Every structure is written in structure tokens, then in C-alpha cells.
Structure 1
């Protein structure tokens, strides 16, 4: 029988205003939640934030930030919006964590105080993650360190079931699907065009569409538990 694997969960308090989510929450006096992070092939980072502030204020703050190369509001819910930004990878907290082989689970900030929760897999060193966070991000404090077994993680997150489907996708397919979901391209009515999603990823519109629809096809085949041979043999007659 395979031995049960374990991970270490680390929780940090962050007050480094060089990080966009901390600075935005302080300036706008609001909560900022990091919803997703996608690493583009050109070295830039695509990020989505839920901001509990007026969309115009959030967008103006992003455009005034010297680390943000482009920004747009995907959804405007009145007092809350979904903000899309493209930034340089260098010096960004999620990049720091990725280089230390930690998996970011939850990141948010309230009024200038950030909370970052990460998981360190068994093949990585929790001490190295702690050291790199404290060294490269000012005003960072380790709040807790918790050892968790795989059985606990499955019960809490259901991550194994999700990864079963996502692992079948290529990186480009996964990024296209994530950008489409976060950007509201799959919503009705659509909140973003294919061109806007492609621009966010730094690729052409045909390339985005190709990876998106192939990725969705793979996900749906897996969801209905069909092999590709079975899928190809399904009759298209009504």
C-alpha cells in the first residue's frame, strides 16, 4: 500500500506595498482577493483580482501603478469588480513562491494587510519558502505552520478530483480555459471577446481559440468518461 503523503501549509501576514494586492487594498480602503495567476509564455504574468471598490477607482489605481503594464475591468458589480492586469514576473510574490516550489492556495488583503496561504509539497523545503518570503518581501510575518495529510486535503479541497481532469490538458490549453473562465468569455452574455482574452494571454486570437476549444473538448470527454476513440465514433445524427 502506498504511504500517505503530507504537505505543509504556511500562513503569512504581508505588509509589503510593492505587491499590488496589498497596495490596492490600502489605497482603496477595501478587500482585494487574488483569484487567479497565469504565467504567460513571454515572461509576463496575467492576474485576476476581485476588488471591493468602485470599478473606476480600481482601474485608475492599476493604471497608475508602475508595475502594471495593462489593466481592464472584466466585471463591474457596483461596489465590487473583477480586475484583470498584466505585470512583469520579476519581484512578484507569486513568482517568488513558485520559484521556492510552493503552491499558492489563497491570497487576499484587507486595508493594507495581506494574508497569503501556501502549501509546500513533500519534495520541497518549507524552511526555504519561509526564508525567501521574509528576505524578498518587507513586512512579512509567518503566522502559522501546519502539517497536513493527503486525506485531509482531499476532504477539504477535493483537489485530487479536479486535478484528474486538468492534468489531461497541456499548459497552453489550461491557461486558455482559465483565461476564458476568469475573463467571462464563457458567460452569457459574454463579458470579454476572444480577442480580449487572447490579448491578456499575449497570443493571437486564433491561437487562443484553438487551445481553448481543444481544452474544453478534452475536459468534456473526461467528464463523460469517454475515450477519444469512443468520442470519434459517436454518431452525429439527431
Structure 2
């Protein structure tokens, strides 16, 4: 599904963000990217979204080399990757249902399809009773569930979550991770970049640890550990 082939990314002439990254993520995997701030997690995500280009090496997503994707086809590439962020990025003047529907509207989905799909995805994330609420009327965990619903409503093959529990309490964080696990069980490849040691240790999924732009550990059913 995803391949980093000897990828290096420099900022400026000599600031190394990533150095000789080799990584394969299979279709349907759940992978944690862990490491301190500046370790390279966010750079990997930005490269996958083609927000920037690698300095050296190649990245493949779903069998396609990202360097071969033209500028006008980048939006199509990004529609296959759902993104969830720490700060939710919800539209404050739209209801829960409207926030989720908007993600379909911008891709040209038909109204009938939107009317059918939005209730289904809100049921999946446990927000059926919050359809007409606005973001400011929701808890942080509920807002993050809306963010996940919006990212997943188009059924992307890949879902990337960048610090999805960063603003949440431990109990709420567990619920968000369980939801991401449920989405992964449907068949979606899930990548979670996080500092949340407890969640990583509880989930026991594949852990790819970064330090100084290099992969220092790659373990199936791993833990964050104090070494990272």
C-alpha cells in the first residue's frame, strides 16, 4: 500500500528531516509512528500527502510513484487518504452532519449519495444523536469523532491520524483509538502519529519509531518504550 524507498528529506541545505527511510506498509495494516517532536513523523505525513517532495529516494502509494503524479491530479491522490488532526479543523458554522457532508460535496458527490452516506458514517462513530449540533456544543472527544467521520466518509483506502488524542483525556483517548481500530478492521490502512505512550502500549500494533529522521525500531505488536 505504501513504500518509502531510501527517502531523504532536507530542509534548506543541511537540516535533515528524514534520512534514508525504507519502510513498507501493507494494505490493511495499523501502524503507529512514534518519536519526539522533530523526529520526522510530520514530514513523512506531508510527503505522503504530496505537500512536499523528497530530496532523494521515491515514495509509492497504492502502486503509484508519487513523483509521477502531476499537479492537477494531486487532489485525486489526496481523496484516497483521509486525514485526522489534533485540532479537529471543523467548520464552526456547520452542524455535525453538514461538516461530514461537506467532505463529500467538495468531491462532487450527488445529494442522494450524501443523504444516504452521512447517517451511516455518523452511526459508525457513535454520533447519531448529535447530527444537528454545532462544534462548540460538542466535547473534545465528540469533535474528534466528527473529524474522523469527515475523513472516512469517502471511504479512503488510507487513514492518517496526526496526534488524534493530543487534546483529549485518557478515557476519551481510549474511545478514539477503539474507533480507529474499528475502521482498520473494515479494511482501511491506518497510520497514527502520536506521542501517547499509554495508547501505543495498550493497542499493541506495529510500532515504527523515529529519531533524528531515521527509523530506529520497527516492531509488530510493539510498545512505545522508554527508549524512544
Q: Name the TM-score class by shorter chain.
A: under 0.3
Larger of the two Rg values belongs to structure? 1
TM-score, length basis structure 1: 0.26
Taking CA–CA contacts closer than 8 Å with sequence separation of 6 or more, which of the two structures ends up with the larger relative contact order? 2
TM-score by length of 2: 0.27
